[in-house]
Each structure stands twice: as C-alpha cells, then as structure tokens.
Amino acid sequence: MNRNQYIKILISALIGITIILGVYWQYLTTPFNSNQLKIGASYMTMNNDFYKILNNEIEKEIAKNDDVLYTRDPALSVDKQVEQIESFIANGVNIIILNPVDASSKKLLKVLKKAKYAGIKIVVVDSQLSDNSSVDSTIVSDNYQAGVLCAQHLMKEQSSANILLLEHDIAVSGVDRIKGFTDTIKGYDSYQVVDRRDCLGQTEIAMPQVQAVIEEGTTFDTVMALNDQAAIGALAAIKDSAYDKQVAIYGVDGSPDMKSILATSGELEATVAQSPMTIGQKAIQAGYQLYRGKKVASEIIVPVKLITANNISDYDLAGWQ
C-alpha cells in the first residue's frame, strides 16, 4: 500500500467516525418522546391568509407538545385533498384537521370514512360536510349570522339595493353566509339580487367575474361577497372598469387588508370579523381531547362581529382576531 492510498483510507475513516459521532450526539441531545402524536392538516387552499393564521395556532400548540404536524394544500382540488388524506392514513396520523374543498364530494366522504375506520380523530374547520358521520367535531364561525349582519347593515343604510352576490357554491361556509344575507332581505321588494357569480372565494376569480357583469350591462349598487378576498376582487374590478355608480361592498373575514381599506377610505362598506386564531386554537384542543377519549361537542360555533368605519378603531389593522 503506497502513502497516497493510506492517506485516502485514513480520511475516509475519519469522515465515517465524524458522521457516527454526529448521529450519536443528535440522539443524546434530542428528547425522546414515545408518545409523540402525528397530526395531518389539509385546507382547501393556502392562498388565503385566513388558513395560514388558523394553521399557525395549531402549529404552536403542537410544537409545545413535541408532536408532528403535516400541513397540506390541495389548491382547491378535491382529488388532491383525497390523496392527502390517503397519505395521512398511510403515515399513521392520530388526528386529521380538515377544511374541505367540496363539502359534498363522494370521494372525500369515502376517504374520511376510511380514516375514521382506521381510528383517526377528525376535526373539520371553517366549513361543514354534507355528511358528518365520520367527523368527530366541526368548528366554524357563525356563518349564517355573518350574512344576516351584512344584510341588516345594508337595510339600515340603504332604502333599496340592486345586489350582486359573489359565492362559492361547494363551500358550506360560503353558502351559509349568502343564505343568511338572502333570508334577511327576503320579502322586501326594494332589495333585489340582480346577478350572482361563483368565484371560489378568490380575488383573482372574483375580479373578472365582476368585470363580466359590468360589461354585460347589469346595474348594481351593492356587492355581497362570501369573503374579503372576493370583496377586494370586486373593488378592483369596479375601479378598473371605471364603473360610474357608487357601490356598497360587503365581505366576511375581518382580514387585515379589508380592515386597512375600511380605515383609510370609503371604498368598502363593511366586513364581518371571523377569528381564525380562535378556530385554530379550538381545533387542536378538540383534536387532543378526542384522542384522549374525552367528550367534545359535535359542533362548536365561534361568534362573529360586524366591522364598519364606525368601529374600525377597536380592531388591530395589521393582524387577525
């Protein structure tokens, strides 16, 4: 063996020893948790700060307990969400926290039954499923009341209205908000829905939908949007199209962007504040309690509040509730 070969063998041995020592040191310094739980979370889209804030609250609690969180974004695809739940089952998660892409999807309901059969606790947030038989607890804002509050404010401020509705037909939370609104104005002939468009609750879809309504010549003076993202999309469309009528725009969420516009201009009428922080906290609390065999209410409803220019000073413009 020549000198160069000897040096190469020595270097390889030293590298091997270093790796072994590193792994051993990590083993010594990393606390061992034989009771570590695995939690899977899937939200209809992470292109919405509401779900990011909600998930942050879950993440904080899980970190405190030295447990593991798998967060997934199906990007509004029910097929992707089904795949994600299949992955959760395969990875042996103990708890699933779900915001469903499609509340009535047979594929989604089927895979949730499979998860339930596997002994996984299931908590649904910010929406309901059409079939809750596999769900242990559902945690939502008072979505119907959010629509009621918007309609009551409109009727207080305006004696009549031609209303454009921006909806998300496969999200029960969005459907409930619009129903609360339309139920409240029902029977009052001076308040008329002149058009309704599905926008999936997304700014980039709401904007062209509202532009299309304007281009078609439909006259409206009020927009009721299922959430703040859609409301902001409506505002952008109205401004870009140079629509010459004053429009009262309502949203639901109480997002920082919506509150900032309310505080600094008269371009938006109101939003109804949800609390993703509260929903996230309650979701992970419910998940842990269910896993430990404790009773949890099948439905937990979080109150909502109307925010207008008159009370915006009571709220943090930079953050969520």
pLDDT digits (tens, 9 = 90+) for 146-171: 999 999 999 999 999 999 999 999 99
**Mean pLDDT of the 197-219 span:** 97
Residue 321 maps to a domain: no
| Domain ranges, residue 257 | 143-274+308-314
184 and 147 share a domain? yes
Measure the CA–CA gap between 258 and 177, rounded to whole angstroms: 17
Which residue(s) pair with 208 in the sheet? none
125 and 149 inside one domain: no
Quickly count helices (H) and strands (E) in the chain.
Answer: 10, 12
> Can you tell me the mean pLDDT for 296-313?
97
Say yes or no: 124 and 155 in one domain.
no
Pairing of strands 191-198, 121-125: unpaired
Query: Tokens 């469903």 sit at which residue?
Result: 100
Mean of pLDDT values over 30-45: 82
Enter the pTM of the model.
0.83
Residues 259, 281 within the same domain: no
Nearest of 36, 52, 133 to residue 99 by alpha carbon? 52
Residues 102 and 160 in one domain: no
The model's confidence at residue 27, banded by pLDDT at 50, 70 and 90, is very low
Q: Are 201 and 227 in contact (CB under 8 A)?
A: yes
Q: Does residue 241 sit within a domain?
A: yes
Total domains, the chain:
3
**176 and 198 together in one domain:** yes
